[in-house]
């Protein structure tokens, strides 16, 4: 991989993060492909328009990943599955929906209703869906 390809990939990532955190454009472009390089008065050496906020996000995410891996945790998905399995369903309807979707099973009886998350099924879900489930609990 050439150094220009690395720079362009990092710049594209920075652009995605910038939009994620609320900036309309990849305004901290450093590869030269952003329209801001052509803007009158824009100096790429000094005019970081989101003040490096996107870069700080990338640094924080990278450092968090290093900590997770050092602790033997494969990724955030593994943490989410554990967090979901440790939480109650919150309502009868939520538990029954999870059962209907194959994510939990009824393990109680008519006097002691209880549901258990199916960890192996949760692990098959994409991380975005796991986030939705966790937020709903």
Report CA-CA distances (Å) from 123 to 15, 32, 104.
Answer: 30, 40, 12
Distance of CA 123 to the CA centre of its chain: 15
- Which residues does 94 contact at the CB level (< 8 Å), separation at least 6? 136, 137
Residues near 11 by Cβ (< 8 Å), separated by ≥ 6?
26, 29, 30, 31, 33, 34
Are the CB atoms for 118 and 133 separated by under 8 Å?
A: no
Residue ranges per structural domain of the chain: 3-70, 76-136
Whole-number pLDDT of residue 133: 92
Average pLDDT, integer, range 112-130: 94
Give the Cα separation of 123 and 135 in Å (integer).
17
pTM for this model (two decimals):
0.61
Percent of the chain at pLDDT exceeding 90: 36
User: What's the DSSP call for residue 36?
Assistant: G
55-80 pLDDT, tens digit per residue, is: 889 999 999 889 888 888 877 888 89
Report how far apart, in Å, the C-alpha atoms of 83 and of each of 5, 38, 78 are: 38, 47, 9
């Amino acid at each position: 991989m050439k150094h220009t390809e690395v720079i362009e990939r990092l710049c594209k990532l920075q652009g995605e993060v910038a939009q994620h955190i609320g900036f309309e454009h990849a305004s901290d472009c450093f590869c030269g492909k952003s329209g801001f390089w052509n803007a009158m008065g824009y100096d790429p050496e000094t005019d970081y328009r989101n003040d490096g906020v996107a870069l700080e996000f990338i640094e924080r995410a990278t450092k968090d990943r290093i900590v997770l891996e050092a602790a033997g945790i494969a990724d955030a998905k593994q943490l989410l599955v554990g967090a979901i399995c440790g939480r109650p369903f919150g309502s009868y309807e939520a538990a029954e929906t999870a059962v209907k979707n194959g994510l939990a099973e009824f393990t109680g009886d008519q006097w002691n209703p209880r549901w258990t998350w199916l960890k192996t099924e949760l692990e098959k879900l994409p991380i975005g869906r796991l986030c939705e489930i966790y937020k709903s609990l």
